Amino acid sequence: MQLLDGTACSQQIRQEIALEVEAIVAAGKRPPHLAAVLVGDDGASQNYVGMKVRDCEEVGFGSTTVRMKASTTEAELLAKIDELNSNDAIDGFIVQLPLPSQINENNVILAIDPKKDVDGFCPENVGNLSLGLPTFVSATPNGIMELLRRYEIETEGKHCVVLGRSNIVGTPIAVLMSRNTNPGNATVTLAHSRTKNLKALCASADILIVAIGRTEFVTADMVKDGAVVIDVGQTRVPDNTRKSGFRNVGDVDFEQVKDKCSYITFVTGGVGPMTRASLLQNTLKAYQRR
């Protein structure tokens, strides 16, 4: 079994980006700039935005955090998005999800200028992804593809089972893996909570990508010998032995499954850091396109 090391891979990507930023600045231009909108005071969201800002600093990007109170109305948030859309100093921005219940997430996504939609959630970018046109691929699927590419994992003609059909992970990764690209060219089955014979289906996968948010759901009997297993799941469970008071648990029972796999990601240092690196790649792309 070989561990797919998302931390090492993402560090490589950051170094590549940092070099590009150095060259941009040396040429007398301003560096790329990412803004993050944080509504409310959800601990996990604050954490994620904090990490994204630190990532920007590390590669030399500018960054802005827009903090809005939990009682922000949809109209107030849409007005802020308008401002960011027309602010020439900002190349791309994200609105950290989830949003408070009074705000309709779809209306927010629809309001973001697709050219600045570095999360790749807007219909135009999702449509371009499906058509194989230039786009911002949302960060997690992009990170998974990059991990497969950098480890030179053979995907052509393989059976890839994607477990979970969310708009931000399962559906786009299923599209990407089925496209005529490398990585890609896999025969893809997209499974979800209504899929029959899930265990047998998963056990038939050469490549199993799991994004369901159910802790340690994938057990050894669901994994074929020699399979590549990508665990996207990340659920916080209380853990008093940790300073933070919690730990992240994946959707795959790593200890049970690892020895059956040719390659596997671990919940820490796997898909998470690749997702963060992808946001930086998308921000650089947004800057270069302008």
Which are the catalytic amino acids? 52, 96, 119
Q: How far is residue 255's CA from residue 219's CA, in Å, rounded to a whole number?
A: 9
One symbol per residue from 36 to 55: x for binding ligand NAP (CB under 6 A), - otherwise; what is it? Answer: --------------------
| Residue 234 binds ligand NAP, judged by CB under 6 A | yes
| Residue 194 binds ligand NAP, judged by CB under 6 A | yes
| Residue 269 binds ligand NAP, judged by CB under 6 A | no
| Residue 170 binds ligand NAP, judged by CB under 6 A | yes
| Residue 278 binds ligand NAP, judged by CB under 6 A | no
Interacting residue with ligand NAP among 63, 140, 155, 282 (CB under 6 A) = 140
| Residue 31 binds ligand NAP, judged by CB under 6 A | no
The residue (of 140 and 155) whose beta carbon lies closer to ligand NAP is 140
| Residue 169 binds ligand NAP, judged by CB under 6 A | yes
Exposed/middle/buried for residue 51 (C-beta within 10 Å: 0-12, 13-18, 19+): middle
Shortest reach from residue 70's CB to ligand NAP, in Å: 21
Shortest reach from residue 23's CB to ligand NAP, in Å: 29
Residues that bind ligand NAP (CB under 6 A): 140, 163-166, 168-170, 192-194, 198, 211-214, 232-235, 271-272, 275
